[in-house]
Amino acid sequence: MKEHINKLRQMDIGKVVENVPLKEHTTYKVGGIASCFVYPTNVKNLIQLLKYVKKNNIKYKILGNGSNTLFSDKEYTGIIIKLNHFDHIEVKDTLVVVGAGYNLMKLASLTARKSLTGLEFASGIPGTVGGAVYMNAGAYKSDMGYVVKRVKVLTPDYRVITMTNKELDFHYRTSFFQKHPEYICLEATIGLNKGKKEEIYKVNQERKKRRLESQPLEYPSAGSVFRNPEGLFAGKLIEDLGLKGLTKGGAQISTKHANFIINKGNAKASDIKELIEFTQDAVEDKYHVKLKVEQEFVNWE
């Protein structure tokens, strides 16, 4: 990898950082060392980078805020691509054009200040816009699929195209991008509505209070571990099995919310994965329901 890292630096496509601890870039605060992080400064440089990694058969991963990702404890021998420079934003009346690297919570706060309603559900989701589109992130019976009008996308053959909401195939916690991971979200156009600032703030404050009361926000986690099965709540199924507080190493099924696994201190990624798999098996044995994991497992092969 050293030779490739030196070559990437010579290409002058953006910042290149060696030997990066993944726990510094994931909300679980776990994961091994990544050989290299690259921060391309624009689309042209991103394309150059992708052509290089594919030509040289280098493993790579586009990473947002790492808020829905569980990396293994072993070294990631490849390149992590961060789109932090893709953070432009333009508000045109009720339309917001925003780069994939823009922070989603920051966006929800900005739109609230501009009296635009529709992104209140995102005020507590610590991801990037690109990651939120990829996962179709949501809460409070709303998600990105309700507000995203279109997305600027880089295709596997390096064309920049625009895809409409319908083409993006948004469904509960999924989208076109999960089935086509070589397509990269560059920018989203989000459609909101005029609202009253004080009412938007009131909703956000009430939900913040509810999150603080019901979720273990004082510990590293990745939010809800499992998707809710149709007509059921994953957290209730887990709680009814008496699994709250179950601990493996430094990881624990939260005593506050059973659908959260928290890092109580020095947890390994393997501790978290074992708790996830144990919980899945226990729920399936008892209720014949196979819980789907919201988080993406990376570098476990």
Active site (catalytic) residues: 173, 224, 294
Terminal C-alpha separation, the chain: 19
Cα 140 from Cα 145, distance rounded (Å): 13
234, 259 in Cβ contact below 8 A? Answer: yes
Sign of CA dihedral 128, 300, 239, 256: negative
C-alpha to C-alpha distances, 183 to 20, 151, 168, 263, nearest whole angstrom? 25, 11, 11, 32
Q: If DSSP codes are grouped into helix, strand and coil, which group holds residue 49?
A: helix
DSSP string, 170-232: -BTTB-HHHH-TTSEEEEEEEE-EE--HHHHHHHHHHHHHHHHHHS-TTS---S-SBPPPTTS
C-alpha to C-alpha distances, 77 to 2, 16, 55, 60, nearest whole angstrom? 11, 15, 16, 9
Structure tokens at 176: 């076109």
Helices 2-11 and 43-55 pack at an angle, to 10 degrees, of 150
Structure tokens at 253: 């099924």
Residues 125, 129, 133: CA angle, nearest 5 degrees: 90
Cα 4 from Cα 80, distance rounded (Å): 13
Q: Please, which residues bridge with residue 145 across strands?
A: none
